[in-house]
Amino acid sequence: MADLEANGRVWVTYYFHNPSTDTEQLKRTYLELRDGLVFGSGYYILDSHVQAATYGQVLEYNNKGRAAAFADLNTIPEAPVSTYVFVADPVTGKTEAQNVNPDLTGAASDWDVISSTLQVDDILNEIRRGTGTWVNYQITNPVTGDAEEKRTWLIMHDGLVFGSGYYSSD
């Protein structure tokens, strides 16, 4: 409060209950003091990380073209990662690109699990509007090897579904 009163504005980082995940998560909030009132807006760090990764992959796709962007995305890191980007064809259900497991490209993926859990038309109607949507589902975490709850951000671009998410253990 002293920083806020002295400077009129401050960024704060703290744990807060994310009602979308029903967990305590790290949150970052900007606060500004105006006329004796505190105004603020914040974001959950994991949510913003996966949204940025997803939108970043769309930018790569636009800048480099499909083949080059997918070739880069299909580069699998030496150590498995739990937060990864995938691109799926919503019509065929095939994974077009991802950076978690070379065996998943052209095969079953997050999209298969998502589309078996939720109505595909509902998801596609939501993301075709130009806004993304969050989905929650169970899938194997590549780092732990355990089935876990995953929260994934999905967007539509050029007829493809781009997504990235995080696991409950993250």
pLDDT at 102: 67
Q: What is the pLDDT of residue 105?
A: 67
What confidence tens digit (pLDDT) does each residue in 43-52 have?
988 889 899 9
Report how far apart, in Å, the C-alpha atoms of 133 and of each of 67, 129, 156, 158 are: 26, 10, 10, 17
Q: Is pLDDT at 11 greater than 90 in this prediction?
A: yes
Section 24-29 average pLDDT: 90
Does residue 2 carry a pLDDT above 80? yes
Single out the residue of 146, 145, 114 nearest to residue 127, CA to CA.
114
* Average pLDDT of every residue of the chain: 86
Q: pLDDT per residue over 103-144, tens digit each?
A: 666 665 677 788 777 888 888 888 888 888 898 888 888 778
pLDDT of residue 98: 86
Query: pTM of the entire structure?
Result: 0.81
- Predicted pLDDT of residue 70: 92
Q: pLDDT above 70 covers what percent of the chain? A: 94
Q: Cα dihedral sign for 91, 92, 96, 101? A: positive
Asked if the model's pLDDT at residue 77 lies above 80, the reply is: no
Choice among 17-21, 64-68, 77-81 with the minimum mean pLDDT = 77-81
Q: How are strands ordered across the β-sheet holding 147-157?
A: 95-98, 85-88, 160-167, 147-157, 133-140
pLDDT attached to residue 14:
93
Domains of the chain are 2-45 (no CATH), 46-167 (3.30.450.20)
